[in-house]
Amino acid sequence: MNILLTGSSGLIGSSLMPLLSGHGHRVTRLVRTEPKTGAEVFWDPEGGRLDLASLEGIDAVVHLAGENIGAGRWTERRKQHLLKSRLAGTRLLIRALAGMRRPPDVLVSASAIGFYGDRGAEILHEDSGPGKGFLADVCRQWEQEADAAKGKGIRVVRLRIGMVLSASGGALPRMLTPFRIGAGGRLGAGTQFMSWIALEDLLEVILFACTQRSLDGSVNAVAPNPVTNLAFTQTLGRVLRRPAIIPLPVFLIRLLFGEMGEELLLYSARVEPARLQTAGFRFHYPQLEAALRHVLSA
């Protein structure tokens, strides 16, 4: 297939390109700078610019573009920027796809398990409703924009991605320093559930979504074994051979990180990949300890 990719410079996108190429697919990247090769196409989501003619021949679209949700404290201005970076890019992309003579067969669009909000120990599947909070609102609106592609007969898969385990980026590298100096521990009470996925499995999920024609709608991109934060920290400590006994209190999380810390670190989402399992997807790393040992050894 000829696959159009947005967000190719991020952790997931940059890792996805060699996987797709290795399976014989051609990857065309949407970039915000002057294209350097024939495999790059310029787009400007804020300015609404995207050359429609350059998209002809695309078979599938993987849409990962969006500002890093955890890169800075959530001021009102930053929250608006985070929301706009997702909605404007998705809206422009869908408008371009709708104008093509032959639209692609499938759009695989990123979302996040933040859709579910803070749900305690409730087991969440794809048919569970949205939660409350900033991330839940962002994900809900983001998914609605992507769904507009269905009006052109495009199969739409909305991936609700959990915490991605990689030593190269994301949340995990930030955790390693305190653990390595013996200062790691649970966050708050540690009872909040963490739904995670190894990067290698997530890349395979994206490829699976592109090629599995029976898969559409919301898909939880998480491993089948979510754990509490306490279990996660104990497992990470065991893998690193470091103690995990110094908790970070709730008041300090709120003081240091504000609303971002509340939603990213303290909210509980016990999410299971029901639709992936029904479709026959097989995880390489369904258990947390094996996943951590793999990504950290790499």
Q: How far apart are CA 203 and CA 129, in angstroms?
A: 26
DSSP 54-74: GGTT--EEEE-----TTSS--
Give me the domain span that covers residue 212: 2-297
| CB distance 232 to 194 below 8 Å | yes
DSSP 204-231: HHHHHHHH-TT--EEEEES-S--EEHHH
| CB distance 86 to 138 below 8 Å | yes
End-to-end CA distance of the chain: 29
Q: Which H or E run contains 183?
A: none
Q: How far apart are CA 210 and CA 62, in angstroms?
A: 8
Question: pLDDT at residue 119 above 90?
Answer: yes
pLDDT in tens, 213-253: 999 999 999 999 999 999 999 999 999 999 888 999 999 99
pLDDT in tens, 55-105: 889 999 999 999 888 888 899 999 999 999 999 999 999 999 988 989 999
Q: How far apart are CA 243 and CA 138, in angstroms?
A: 36
pLDDT in tens, 263-298: 999 999 999 999 999 999 999 999 999 999 999 996
Which domain CATH number covers 66?
A: 3.40.50.720
- Residue 197 pLDDT class (50, 70, 90 cuts): very high
Strand partners of residue 4:
28, 61
Q: How far apart are CA 162 and CA 114, in angstroms?
A: 8
Tokens matching residue 295? 């990504």
Tell me what the pLDDT averaged over the chain comes to.
Answer: 94
User: Do the bridges between strand 40-44 and strand 49-50 make them parallel or antiparallel, or are there none, so unpaired?
Assistant: antiparallel
| CB distance 274 to 224 below 8 Å | no
pLDDT at 64: 97
pLDDT at 223: 98
Tokens matching residue 286? 């369904």
Q: How far apart are CA 149 and CA 133, in angstroms?
A: 26
Tokens matching residue 151? 């009006």
Q: How far apart are CA 189 and CA 247, in angstroms?
A: 8
Question: pLDDT at residue 175 above 80?
Answer: yes
**Domains identified in the chain, total number:** 1
Q: How far apart are CA 89 and CA 46, in angstroms?
A: 7
The proportion of the chain whose per-residue pLDDT surpasses 70, expressed as a percent, equals 100
Candidates 198, 222, 230, 214; CA nearest to 280 is 214
User: What is the pTM for the complete model shown?
Assistant: 0.95
Q: What residue type is 279 in one-letter code?
A: A
Q: How far apart are CA 205 and CA 270, in angstroms?
A: 19
Number of neighbours of residue 55 by Cβ within 10 angstroms: 24
pLDDT at 12: 96
Q: What residue type is 15 in one-letter code?
A: S
pLDDT at 207: 97
Tokens matching residue 250? 């709730």
